[in-house]
Amino acid sequence: MFLYSLFISILNVLSVHTLLIKKKPVWYCILAFLLNTLLIYLLVFIIKKNFGDSGFEKYALTFTAFMNILYICLVFQESFPKKLFTMFSIWIFSLIIFYFSIPVSKSLSPLIGEQYLQDLSYFFRFLVQILFIVISYLRLHIKYKRILDSVSNKTITFMSMYLIMAFILLIYRYEISFTAYTNYDFVYEMFLNLILIIWGYVIVFTGVSSSSRIISLLYDYKTIENQVELQRQNYSTLNESLTQLYSLKHDERHHINAIESMVKQQNYKEVLEYIEQYNRNDMSTTIPALCNNFVADSIIKHYMGIANRKKIDFKTDLIIPENIGINSLDLCIVLGNSLENAIEACDRLTDSQDKYIKLISKIVGTHIIFQITNNFCGDIMTADNILKSSKGGLSHGIGLTNIRETANKYNGNLEIKYSNQTFEITIIMCTSN
């Protein structure tokens, strides 16, 4: 039984590893698991020796099992409520599989013999949990982490309470006994409760998933709205430039005649002053095209205008082709969020400090690389050891998450580096060119 319970603990821990973000190296995880397991089994030994079969024993053993949360807290990045929610989800899943494995084993008893029923039931439990770990690692973990990140700690705490109560019900209401499965009423009641618990969990997780989708849709709507506004502003700027161009074209003959007259009179100083005044015309203040991609050009110009109003030195060195092979909405997510965060960071500096943003983009093979560098006050906001923006509300922390997921969508990556005064993000995305 000791080996069975140890192997179950290992499988449960590995399941949690596929769903949460690890903040410690592998050697630390192994050492922490071993020490935590030894502590739990030591307490179990003390409880059984001192309390025997008293009613207190069950409560003490359950409390001891809860000490697995010590390992979870030491190893993973997420907040305590999210760790608790994930741990109890795995525990309940493991228990439910075990309860269902017992009747499966009993159905095979004529073939294998009664003495092997317990071993067979554990074998089914191990097999299902190993399959879950593989599926979770390959298919579920990215979606689960996204959903978990979008739900508030307050919400996930209430959901964890349901899981804890369901776990205690399973532990206290039903004994692990093969003889109990010969009682029809017992089996009927137990399976009915298991179905209710599973259904309740489905409702809980559906609620979490729906909440995540609503937040994501609201964010996408805001992004699309911003993109439309950016393009509207760029069209407006383009229209103003064309109007100025037509006006200059109309007055071109008069300017040439005036310059010609001053040259004939050898008033060269006046000619130079006239040309200088001509160059200071409003047309020269219009920002020229920064790159060949219209969407990227619109976004960058918009934030460049904001930076200029906030007296932030905004420099660019851009190579962004017209047909880049990246969806316009995705381009807006990547550039919009990164530049907005950079301006926000610079804006928190004092007026006496130099504020700058440098945006570089280049094509390397089949990838485009965006690099945004800015200075900042040196304070980094984190939640669950993950970088967050200083914006509150629904958008808190979603920007960087969406940049990373958009980069991953194009087989790329988001890299973040920062020192005392400099913050730099590098976004790599694969293009179709």
Task: Report CA-CA distances (Å) from 374 to 343, 371, 377, 414.
Answer: 8, 10, 10, 16
Backbone angles phi, psi at 424, to 5 degrees: -140, 130
**Edge-to-edge strands, sheet with 367-375:** 313-317, 356-364, 367-375, 422-430, 413-418
pLDDT (mean) for 329-357: 85
Which residues on neighbouring strands pair with residue 372, listed in sequence order? 359, 425
Give CA angle at 123 (119, 129), nearest 5°.
145
pLDDT (mean) for 396-402: 63
Let me know: does 402 contact 337? Beta carbons within 8 Å: yes
Grade residue 295 by pLDDT with cuts at 50, 70 and 90.
Answer: confident
Count of beta carbons in the 10 Å neighbourhood of residue 376 = 22
Grade residue 64 by pLDDT with cuts at 50, 70 and 90.
Answer: confident
Its sign, for the CA torsion 306, 308, 310, 316, is: positive
Task: Provide the mean pLDDT of the chain.
Answer: 76
386: helix, strand or coil: strand
CA 169/CA 319 separation, integer angstroms: 62
CA 148/CA 295 separation, integer angstroms: 32
Residue 385 has pLDDT above 70, yes or no: no
CA 254/CA 40 separation, integer angstroms: 93
pTM: 0.53
Which of 211-215, 246-250, 412-416 has maximum average pLDDT? 412-416
Domain at 289-433: CATH code: 3.30.565.10
Count of beta carbons in the 10 Å neighbourhood of residue 213 = 12
Count of beta carbons in the 10 Å neighbourhood of residue 293 = 23
267 vs 305, residue with greater confidence: 305
| Minimum mean pLDDT range among 8-22, 58-72, 233-247, 326-340 | 233-247
Nearest-10 crossing angle of helices 141-150, 80-107: 140
299 vs 173, residue with greater confidence: 299
Residues of the chain with CATH 3.30.565.10: 289-433
Let me know: does 295 contact 330? Beta carbons within 8 Å: no
Residue 184 has pLDDT above 60, yes or no: no
pLDDT number for residue 393:
43
Which residues on neighbouring strands pair with residue 360, listed in sequence order? 317, 371
CA 160/CA 89 separation, integer angstroms: 9
